[in-house]
């Protein structure tokens, strides 16, 4: 019997893609063919029985990186909540993947998108309330952002990258990557992602490859963008 690889909400086994629905913010309203939750769930469910148990485009972005040599999926958790601090809501990662590699453990924080944006820009999100200021200062400190303008960057990319880093530290992984699983041929959000990567110090040098690494404590983190076909896309 194949080991259980896919979970939702951390501990609930995923027996079919639709098991994700109760954990989505708007339940059935977020579950539609051609939308990110639906497409991501089906892509990971389809891949789970074929080694390395990763969707092809996710595998392609890590397979040539020496740090990810021999990578296979240990488990993937859908809608994974990560506590960032005491100043706001948890960050909910679409899929948090734990990998076993020849070099030890690695973690992928996967953000699934179709044509959705990465949310508000920092200047729009930050109302200068005490909680938000403390949250932002904490994220900048955790991610070791240098003296670069951040007002035009998308806030979601900060907390999702932070969540990936924290989850890696929690399980003793030395490698981590925050990866966008895009299902949009128009690459909505790509320019915002590239701008964040540049400011973070991990520029995207070429499509289909992970970024330059950044060492944060004992964890080396990278960013990546993958372009994935829709489940029922016509050739």
pLDDT for 61 equals 96
Q: Mean pLDDT throughout 188-208?
A: 92
Nearest to 81 by CA among 186, 160, 194, 173: 160
pLDDT for 235 equals 40
Q: Mean pLDDT throughout 177-198?
A: 95
Average of per-residue pLDDT values in the chain:
93
> pLDDT above 90 covers what percent of the chain?
86
Q: How confident is the model at residue 146 (pLDDT cuts 50, 70, 90)?
A: confident
Nearest to 107 by CA among 67, 154, 47, 158: 67
- How far apart, in whole angstroms, are the C-alpha atoms of residue 33 and residue 49? 22
pLDDT in tens, 15-61: 999 999 999 988 898 899 999 999 999 999 999 988 899 999 999 99
Q: What is the pTM of this model?
A: 0.95
> Which has the minimum average pLDDT: 8-22, 65-79, 120-134, 158-172?
8-22
Q: Please report the beta strands in the chain, taking only residues with DSSP state E, as ranges in sequence order.
A: 6-8, 12-13, 72-82, 91-101, 104-113, 175-182, 214-216, 219-227
| Residue 41, H or E segment | helix 36-47
pLDDT for 233 equals 60
Report yes or no: 71 and 100 within 8 Å, Cβ to Cβ.
Answer: yes
Q: Mean pLDDT throughout 135-157?
A: 95
- How far apart, in whole angstroms, are the C-alpha atoms of residue 154 and residue 131? 18
Residues 6+ apart with CB under 8 A from 17: 38, 41, 42, 45
Report the 10 Å Cβ neighbour count for 134: 14
> pLDDT above 70 covers what percent of the chain?
97
2 has a pLDDT exceeding 70: no
């Amino acid at each position: 019997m194949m080991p259980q690889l896919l979970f939702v909400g951390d501990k609930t086994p995923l027996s079919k893609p639709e098991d994700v629905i109760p954990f989505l913010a708007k339940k059935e309203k977020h579950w539609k063919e051609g939308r990110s939750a639906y497409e991501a769930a089906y892509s990971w469910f389809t891949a789970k029985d074929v080694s390395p148990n990763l969707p092809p485009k996710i595998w392609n972005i890590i397979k040539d990186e020496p740090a990810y040599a021999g990578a296979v999926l240990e488990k993937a958790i859908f809608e994974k909540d990560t506590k960032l601090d005491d100043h706001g809501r948890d960050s909910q990662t679409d899929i948090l993947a734990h990998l076993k590699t020849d070099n030890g453990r690695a973690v992928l924080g996967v953000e699934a998108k179709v044509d959705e944006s990465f949310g508000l820009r920092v200047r729009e999100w930050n109302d200068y309330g005490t909680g938000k200021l403390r949250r932002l200062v904490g994220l900048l400190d955790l991610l070791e952002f240098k003296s670069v303008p951040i007002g035009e960057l998308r806030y979601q990319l900060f907390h999702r990258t932070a969540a990936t880093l924290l989850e890696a530290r929690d399980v003793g992984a030395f490698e981590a990557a925050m990866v966008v699983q895009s299902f949009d041929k128009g690459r909505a959000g790509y320019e915002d992602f590239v701008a964040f990567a540049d400011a973070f110090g991990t520029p995207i040098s070429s499509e289909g490859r992970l970024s330059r690494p950044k060492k944060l404590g004992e964890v080396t983190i990278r960013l990546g963008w993958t372009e994935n076909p829709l489940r029922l896309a016509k050739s």
